[in-house]
Amino acid sequence: MTPSNTSPKIRSVEWGQVHLDNDKTYKDVKLFPNGSRKWDWNETGTHHKPGIQPADVEELLDNGAEVVILSQGFQQRLQVCNKTKQWLNERGIDFYILETEKAAQKYNELRSSQAIGALIHSTC
C-alpha cells in the first residue's frame, strides 16, 4: 500500500461528529482509500433496524477498500443486516462490527497498512 491510497485519519469522534485530520467533519461518514463523504442513510433506506445494508458498503469496495469497519453507534443501536455480512463474506472481505469509539480506533490502527473503508455512525 502506498501513501497515495491511504484512507483519511479520524482525528476524533464524539456524539454527532466525526472529525478527520483533513479538517472535514461529518455526522455519519463513509471513509475509503483517498477519500470520505457524508453517509446519507436516505440513499439506501438504511434504518437502525434492519441496519447497514450491502448498498451502504458497496461504495467502499468500489473505492478500493479491502477491509471494512462497520460502526454501530455509541449505544450500538445500528444493526448490520445478515445479508450484508453474507455479501462481504462472499467477496472475501474481512470486516469488523464495533461500537463507534472502538471502530474509529480499529480504523486508525489499520488505515496506514491496509486499504480500509469504514462506515462511522456518530450517535446512538
What is the domain-level CATH number for residue 10? 3.40.1230.10
- Residue 91 burial by CB count (10 A; 0-12/13-18/19+): exposed, middle or buried? middle
Range of the domain at 40: 3-121
Segment 70-93 shows an average pLDDT of 97
Q: Could you give the C-alpha distances from 88 to 9, 66, 84, in angstroms and in order?
A: 23, 10, 6
What is the per-residue pLDDT for 5?
72
Q: Is the pTM of this model over 0.85?
A: yes
In the chain, the number of structural domains is 1
What is the per-residue pLDDT for 38?
97
